Amino acid sequence: MHAIRKNNGNNKKPNFLLKYLKPSLLYLKEFSETTTLHGIRHIGLSNRHLIEVIVWVLCEVIAIYGAYNLIRNSWTRYNENPTVITVQKDYRYWYLQFPSATFCYVDPVDTNLAKIYIERKWRVSSGEKFDYYMDFVKKVANTTYENLDSMAPYVNNTELKYIDIMDLILKVHADPQYIMTLFSSDFKNITFLPVLTEMGICYTFNGKITNYLTPESKIRVENNSLTPS
């Protein structure tokens, strides 16, 4: 006599769940690797810790719930009292100070001015010594907070010990030329002033602290465009 086991269909449920669960997880992983939505990316990636995944799931649920409440409340308020309140501002009469602008040269050295400085300072016009001083002048004029170590080869040179660095930079610095386009006649005699910055000597217009950063000697600034008088 053989016993016949009754199949009530319960064994099909795990297979049914696995059939749809595995593709869903693969889709979630693929979506998480390519999406740019905040938080979603961390949910489906396999290299995330379980606690991290749970935290991100909670954050997403809270965000969705908050967005839903905001939309529902706005819709309810609109249906109950569809009145739009706006505040008109006389922004055309506001006085807004023109923003400051600063520019810096990539290479501020004028080669002709550098030659004149070297000839007057060290009485040389050619040769290895001239090249040595020219390299020194260029490195001094191009000194920034990023390349201070470039001055290391000149530390032990006693001839350079008492050089006025600021005077050197000002005498070899190229005269800035710029084109200015004005949109209002209220701005008159606009001038860029030299300022000391962490990037060396730069030029600033309409800066609040320009007077505190301007070197002792002013560099001649020429404007090659017409300005209102």
pLDDT of residue 49: 83
Q: Report how far residue 130's alpha carbon sits from residue 123's, in angstroms, rounded to the nearest whole number.
A: 9
Q: With a cut of 60, say whether residue 163 has pLDDT above it.
A: yes
pLDDT of residue 216: 64
Q: With a cut of 70, say whether residue 35 has pLDDT above it.
A: yes
Q: Which two tokens stand for residue 61?
A: 């649920």
Position with higher pLDDT, 124 vs 93: 124
Assign 3-class secondary structure to 182-214. Answer: CCCCCCCCCCCEEEEECCEEEEEECCCCHHHHC
DSSP the chain: --------STTHHHHHHHHHHHHHHHHHHHHHHH--STTTHHHH-TTS-HHHHHHHHHHHHHHHHHHHHHHHHHHHHHHH----------GGG---PPPPEEEE-SS-B-HHHHHHHHHHHH---SSHHHHHHHHHHHHHHT--TT-GGGGGGGTT-GGGTT--HHHHHHHHBPPPEE----S-TT--S---EEEEETTEEEEEES-TTHHHH--SSPPP-EE-S----
Q: Which two tokens stand for residue 72?
A: 């529902």
Q: With a cut of 70, say whether residue 143 has pLDDT above it.
A: yes
pLDDT of residue 13: 57
pLDDT of residue 153: 87
Domain layout of the chain by residue ranges: 19-65, 111-172, 174-223
Check if the beta carbon of residue 141 is closer than 8 Å to that of residue 168: yes
Per-residue pLDDT band at 117 (split at 50, 70, 90): very high
For 5-14, 114-123, 173-182, which range has the lowest pLDDT when averaged over its residues? 5-14
The mean pLDDT value of the chain amounts to 79
Q: What are the Cα distances from residue 10, in Å, to 6, 15, 75, 215?
A: 11, 10, 46, 88
Print burial letters for 136-161: b (CB count within 10 Å at least 16), e (below 16).
bbbebbbbeeeeeeeeeebeeeeebe
Q: Which two tokens stand for residue 70?
A: 């905001």
Span 58-92, pLDDT tens digits? 998 999 999 999 999 988 888 888 777 777 777 77
Span 144-160, pLDDT tens digits? 888 888 888 888 888 88
Q: With a cut of 90, say whether residue 10 has pLDDT above it.
A: no
Q: Which two tokens stand for residue 26?
A: 């693969």
Share of the chain above pLDDT 70, in %: 81
Q: For CA atoms 54, 56, 60, 66, give the dihedral sign.
A: positive
